[in-house]
Each structure stands twice: as C-alpha cells, then as structure tokens.
C-alpha cells in the first residue's frame, strides 16, 4: 500500500486523506521510508525533520478540505526559510543558521495542509545549473546516478522523480525549476515575475530574475501548487494581474486554438542534441494534430551582448546575496568560506561600479521589451529546455588552469534556452515529452505571454492527456 501511495499525485493524495482512504500519517511514514531507502544513493534531502513531520501529520484528519491536506512535500534549501529547520543555501558558511520564522512559501504550503519533510540540496547560492555543492555533496539523477539531476533545484527534482515526494518546492532564476524538470522527467513551471512573493527575506530577489514554484509529476499538481503559492504580499516590488479563475481549473479546460512557434536551434549557437531536436519536432507535430497553428518561428536575441550583460547582473546579484546572508548570520562571510566560483563572483561584484551594473540591467530590460513583442503574433513558443539530456556529474568543472568563472560560462553550453525568460519575466514550463536513445528524459519548453500561466497550463494539460508520462519510473525509485 505504501509504495502505491508514493506514486499517487499530490492531488490524489490529498483527496485520499480527505475521503479517509488513508491518513496523513500513513503518507508521511511512506515518504520517510522512501527517503531512508534511496536518499543515501541520491542525496536529494540535506535535512529531514521526521518527528516534526509525523507530529504535523497527526493534526490532519479525514474531511480536511485544504488542497494539500496531509501531503508530504520538500522545500529547497534556498530562498525559502522554514522555521526551525537549518538552511544552508548550499554553503558551508550558513551551516549553523536556523530561521525563526517561515517565509512566504513555507507559510502558504503549510496553510494548504502540506507536511514539510525537510530541505533539499542546491548548489552554493543556487548559482549553477547542476547540484554539486562542496558543503553538502552532489545530488544524483534517479535515471542515471552518474549524471546530474540539474540545478539549482536538483535535490527537489531528484526527490520527486524517485518517488520520495509527489511535490517539491523549487525556485528559478535562470532555469532552476525547468532544468531539473527536464533532467528528471518532471513538470516544472517558472511562474511570471511577481506571481509568487519572496517575502520576507528578499525584496526584488536578483532584480526580479528568480521566482518560486514547484516540481511535480503532473500538470494538475503544478497548477495546484501555483494556486497555493501565488498572491501578492504587502510591499512586493512586482505585481501581476490575478488569473481569471484558479490555475487548477485551467488544467481542466481546453486551451482553444493557439498560434504556436517552435525553435530547434539554440540562441547562442551551441549544438543541440539530435534527440532533443526530435523531441521538439514531435511536440510540434502533436500540437498540429491537436488543432493548433504551428510554424517554425522564434524571437531573436543577440547572444553575445545578452550573455555578457546577463552574467554582469548575475554577478552583481551574487554580491548582494552575500551581503544579505552576512546580515542574517550576524557576521561577515569570509572569502575562505566560499567555493572558488562564488569567491571570484564576489570579487567581480566588488570591482563593478553602480553604473556598470545599471547599464547591464538597462540592456536586459530593453531587449526584454523587444522580445515580448513577438507574442503580439503568437501565443506560445516551443523550444528545447536543454541543449542535451542530463550531463555527467562534474562535466562543467573548469579545466586545469582555467578561472573558476569558466564554470559559469561552461553552463551556457547546456542551458542556453532557459535564462532569457527570467529576464523577460514570462512564464515558462518544461514538459517531459521525449526520451534519449539511452533512455534519459528530455524536456520540451513552452513559453507563454506575460502573466499567461493559464494558457500554458491548459495547453500542457491537453498535451499530457494526449501523450501521458506519469507512469514512467527511473532506475532508482522508492
């Protein structure tokens, strides 16, 4: 029974608790048992609060109408404080920091009835698209443990893909929800800028690049997670219009006939794996069969200047994060407490003038205006999520004699398709629509107009119904 429970969707788990078909305690015990069996191999969780989870589960009774009542979940160890749980941000420097209050994400999830089992692994400060922090060790992909689950929400991706939980929190500043979703065969939606508040720790959070969301196995669960997390908090820097109805309802209705463009080539010219390109072609064919108007088209981006200015803003944001974390722990974070890449990014941030930073930010905001105009003629853009399937652990590391910053630049060879939508603030979603010749998941990215999560969710649900994926299981599974 417990193994069957683990592979139910979060929506179904909550319904079973509500109807008395199982208890929240049964769900939590099943998840804790799965963590005990497979986390040692995957290293998805870096902290497990078993006693607190069982106690919280015992408070949930049959008939509880909350949307996630009794559902065991995980929260990423970055940007989302949980009261009483250690929060490292993937850093040795923060290993002793324990927040005293829940952040907005944890508060909303708990209010919806979810049971927080613990915190999942992330790279230091969430900088990289792989999850290999020195502080907590690498997380491994359940489909192939020699490969990364992606990052920076790699621990959450591995936890959901392996069946430890049905839903896990993630955040996305350059692809960090979509990259693990593609690597692990999951659904991952980056909401619109401002859709989910980062209160209370962050204000604009990397000038609006990152946003919180969830990783799940179904479109319906992703929509439900967004309903739980979305909403304005006083003082938020960005405000988006509310949906016309709950996002979960969007998953139940037809999207209508949409104008869809698709792209096979990367914006920075790096090679795209043939299996990945085929997955996009197959998605385009399916969308045509479903009645949509599909053509090969995409907005244009100047890759050289875009990457240069994006990296400048990312570096400046890293300097700001280190300042904030020093204040949280009550003493400055020393250079010798940082990984080489983070240390070099701090040095570069300290050498950058305010004018340098604002020029880079202004460039990104200007090209965002140009890119978003493409949606005057189209409703959705379809691209690969990644240039190739999950890569081997350690494969982005700098070579002998190379600067640490090379780690960050090497990432652009794998993740060229995701960061631009953090710059524009548009919703973007990865769906597990392909498989490589070696059996690895391949994600296909759907990008919507600003604040158009409803369109993406309706379209994704239509695609999921036509080509279901929820029954797939990786080699390492609970």
CATH code of 209's domain: 3.90.1300.10
List alpha helices for 175-302, DSSP H: 178-184, 219-229, 247-250, 274-289
CA–CA separation, 60 vs 57, rounded Å? 5
Residue 200: per-residue pLDDT: 75
Return all residues near 4 (Cβ < 8 A) that are at least 6 apart. none
Distance of alpha carbon 362 from alpha carbon 369, whole angstroms: 11
**Residue 472 belongs to some domain of the structure:** no
Q: Find tokens 């689950």 and name the residue.
A: 149
> Domain containing 377: what range?
2-466
Task: With respect to residue 98, please indicate whether it lies within any of the assigned structural domains.
Answer: yes
CB-based contact 97:87 (threshold 8 Å): yes
Is 296 part of a structural domain of the chain? yes
Residue 473 lies in a domain: no
Q: Which residues partner with 435 through β-bridges?
A: 441
In terms of C-beta density within 10 A (0-12 exposed, 13-18 middle, 19 or more buried), how is residue 418 classed? buried
Amino acid 205: pLDDT = 61
Q: Which residues are catalytic?
A: 76, 152, 176
Alpha-helix runs per DSSP H in 251-302:
274-289
Rounded Cα–Cα distance for residues 99 and 79 (Å): 11
C-alpha 177/C-alpha 179 separation (Å) is 6
pLDDT at residue number 4: 87
Does 477 reside within a domain?
no
By the 10 Å C-beta count (0-12 exposed, 13-18 middle, 19+ buried), 200 is classed as: middle
pLDDT at residue 428, rounded to an integer? 98
**Residue 356 forms part of a structural domain:** yes
Q: For 77-232, where are the alpha helices, taking DSSP H only?
A: 104-111, 154-161, 178-184, 219-229
Rounded to the nearest 5°, which phi and psi values hold at 433?
A: -100, 0
- Could you give the number of structural domains in the chain? 1
Per-residue pLDDT of the chain (478 residues; tens, 9 = 90+): 466 899 999 999 999 999 999 999 999 999 999 999 999 999 999 999 999 999 999 999 999 999 999 999 999 999 999 999 999 999 999 999 999 999 999 999 999 999 999 999 999 999 999 999 999 999 999 999 999 999 999 999 999 999 999 999 999 999 999 999 999 999 999 999 999 998 876 766 657 899 999 999 999 999 999 999 999 999 898 999 999 999 999 999 999 999 999 999 999 999 999 999 999 999 999 999 999 999 999 999 888 899 999 999 999 999 999 999 999 999 999 999 999 999 999 999 999 999 999 999 999 999 999 999 999 999 999 999 999 999 999 999 999 899 999 999 999 999 999 999 999 999 999 999 999 999 999 999 999 999 999 999 999 999 999 999 989 999 999 9
């Amino acid at each position: 029974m417990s193994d069957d429970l683990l592979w139910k969707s979060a929506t179904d788990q909550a319904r079973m608790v509500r109807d008395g078909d199982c208890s929240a305690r049964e769900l939590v015990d099943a998840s804790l048992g799965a963590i005990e069996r497979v986390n040692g191999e995957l290293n998805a969780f870096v902290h497990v609060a078993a006693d607190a989870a069982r106690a919280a589960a015992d408070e949930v009774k049959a008939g509880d109408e909350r949307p996630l009542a009794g559902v065991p979940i995980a929260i990423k160890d970055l940007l989302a404080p949980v009261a009483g749980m250690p929060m490292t941000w993937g850093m040795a420097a923060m290993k002793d920091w324990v927040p005293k209050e829940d952040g907005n994400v944890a508060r909303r999830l708990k209010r919806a009835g979810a049971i927080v089992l613990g915190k999942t692994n992330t790279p230091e400060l969430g900088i990289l698209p792989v999850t290999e922090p020195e502080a907590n060790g690498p997380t491994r992909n359940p489909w192939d443990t020699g490969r990364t689950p992606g990052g920076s929400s790699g621990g959450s991706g591995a936890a959901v893909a392996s069946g430890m939980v049905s839903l896990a929190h993630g955040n996305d500043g350059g692809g960090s929800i979509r990259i693990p979703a593609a690597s692990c065969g999951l659904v991952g939606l980056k909401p619109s800028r401002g859709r989910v508040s980062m209160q209370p720790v962050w204000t604009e959070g990397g000038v609006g690049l990152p946003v919180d969301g969830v990783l799940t196995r179904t479109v319906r669960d992703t929509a439900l997670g967004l309903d739980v997390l979305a909403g304005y908090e006083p003082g938020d820097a960005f405000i988006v219009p509310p949906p016309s109805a709950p996002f979960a309802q969007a998953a139940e209705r037809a999207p209508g006939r949409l104008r869809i463009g698709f792209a096979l080539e990367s914006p920075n010219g790096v090679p795209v794996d043939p299996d990945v390109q085929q997955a996009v072609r197959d998605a385009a064919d399916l969308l045509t069969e479903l009645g949509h108007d599909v053509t090969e088209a995409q907005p244009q981006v100047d890759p050289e200047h875009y990457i240069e200015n994006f990296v400048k803003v990312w570096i400046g944001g890293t300097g700001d994060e280190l300042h904030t974390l020093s204040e949280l722990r009550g003493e400055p974070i020393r250079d010798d407490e940082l990984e080489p890449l983070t240390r070099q990014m701090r040095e570069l941030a300290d050498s950058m003038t305010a004018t340098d930073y604002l020029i880079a930010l202004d460039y990104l905001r200007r090209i965002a205006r140009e890119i978003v105009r493409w949606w005057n003629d189209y409703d959705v853009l379809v691209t690969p999520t990644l240039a190739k399937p999950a890569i081997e652990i350690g494969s982005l590391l700098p070579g002998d004699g190379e600067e640490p910053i090379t780690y960050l630049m090497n990432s652009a060879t794998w993740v060229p398709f995701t960061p631009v939508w953090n710059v524009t603030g548009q919703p973007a979603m990865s769906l597990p629509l392909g498989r490589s010749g070696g059996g690895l998941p391949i994600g296909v990215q759907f990008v919507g107009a600003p604040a158009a999560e409803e369109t993406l969710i309706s379209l994704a649900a239509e695609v999921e119904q036509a080509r279901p994926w929820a029954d797939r299981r990786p080699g390492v599974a609970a």
